[in-house]
Amino acid sequence: MRCPKQTSGVRWLPLLLTGGMLLPFTQQAWAQSDRIEIVGDYRYTYHDPETPTEAKATACREALRLAISTWPSFREETAAIVDSALLKDIVQTIASNYVKDVQVIEQAEKGRTVYCKVRGVVQSGEIRKVIQAPLGGVENAPTAVEQNRALRVLSVREDTDGTISVVFKALKRLDWLNTAYDGGLREHADLMVDFYDEQGTLIRSERYPARKTESGDDVMNPGEIGVRKIAKPLNAKSYRVWVVK
């Protein structure tokens, strides 16, 4: 049942909701031709020691994230991404930096349940660039680092904690129950990483299955994108990511 509405009219939200914090929000002038309105709502039940004010902020923050993640253009652009953590990061980046003119258009409270509905404006071309950035430009094949008949490595980056993030795209159906018997495709469905010391001497080579999850027998269909997180050895100063040709 919908909670009774406790606010009337439209109330401007001069705050940007991000990471549990409320930060000052500066509006910017945008080109009208690329402006898209997005709307989202969220109902949240809170518990002690959380306060009603904190719960309302959480509800509005999640409403904004849902407005982004359920926007049809966003779902279309991210349809091939299978890594949930990457999707969450993209949504947070957009919510923190790329949604303008954010308004709370409805807010209600009943007992310990709060409700918030928000709307905002995004620039579709700008959002598309944000989505493509961590994928290394998935639409442009020449940007691939490595490729064989099963996989295309789209980008490789080292995170601040030393973890290597490899974004890859399946070119063939990868079924980890049957791939091993599909003309030797199993060997081509691994990410290879060579680690080197500070003199450039090879320390070791490692093989990492290109799966949606590290341990699951996942099926990846052609066009799906995944991210493999790889821990870099402490004594490794450089590395090379490659695939078996």
pLDDT tens-digit readout, 133-164: 766 544 333 334 578 888 888 888 887 788 88
The kind and range of the H/E element at 95 are helix 84-97
Overall pTM surpassing 0.75 (yes/no): no
- For 240, counting Cβ atoms within 10 Å of its Cβ (0-12 exposed, 13-18 middle, 19+ buried), the class is middle
* Average pLDDT for the chain: 77
Q: What structural domains does the chain harbor?
A: 11-134 (3.10.129), 139-242 (2.60.40)
83-96 pLDDT tens trace? 777 788 889 889 98
Q: How confident is the model at residue 183 (pLDDT cuts 50, 70, 90)?
A: low
Instruction: Note the pLDDT of residue 228.
Output: 87
Nearest CA to 96 out of 123, 124, 64, 128 is that of: 64
Is residue 95 within 8 Å of 65, Cβ to Cβ? yes
- Distance separating alpha carbons of residues 117 and 79, to the nearest angstrom: 25
- Distance separating alpha carbons of residues 24 and 118, to the nearest angstrom: 17
